[in-house]
Structure 1
């Protein structure tokens, strides 16, 4: 079956859910963030997907804002010893960063499919 045989899927919703960007049914992840080779429902080959460092950049920006904001607020409001930061800010950083990694990678893969993104080539 070709891409025209499937109704268009919303890339953000399918990416956040970790579903196939073509059919919206099959799962794209094999493990935590490793992509499956193909969709078990429609057979879409996921070799086109190369999210590279895109999700990591967004996570650093968004997660860094949240975690640094928390650490600054904690320091200014309570002036705790350093070990309080270790036991509060560090777990929040892990939860925020790891919690956003899989959904953002799914969104990047779905957007690549939706916009037919591929590696650039020089024309001669």
Structure 2
């Protein structure tokens, strides 16, 4: 998944990916991340881009750098719960805005979601 959207800076797209990996428990609280150089090689980007990504996530209180040890996901359960809620709200907002732009009412959106989840429960989706 090394494709990047040209409408958003790469460092922010990488920050979003790390946030999603944390929320999905792919990355865990207290886990050490790859070094800047290793991460840059993984994503085929400049190390400065990774450093900017890490700095942004540190500023947001998601990562912490321990001198001489590396960069780690914070261990604050409360902050990680906030991150999870924030990402959920962001996704819902985007979804609802798109649906409303297409002319769907709140009731139609809710009904559509209910139908979708019923299909999933039956194994039809």
Same fold, judged at TM 0.5 (above): no
Judging by fraction of residues, say which structure has more strand: 2
The normalised TM-score by structure 1 is: 0.29
Judging by fraction of residues, say which structure has more helix: 2
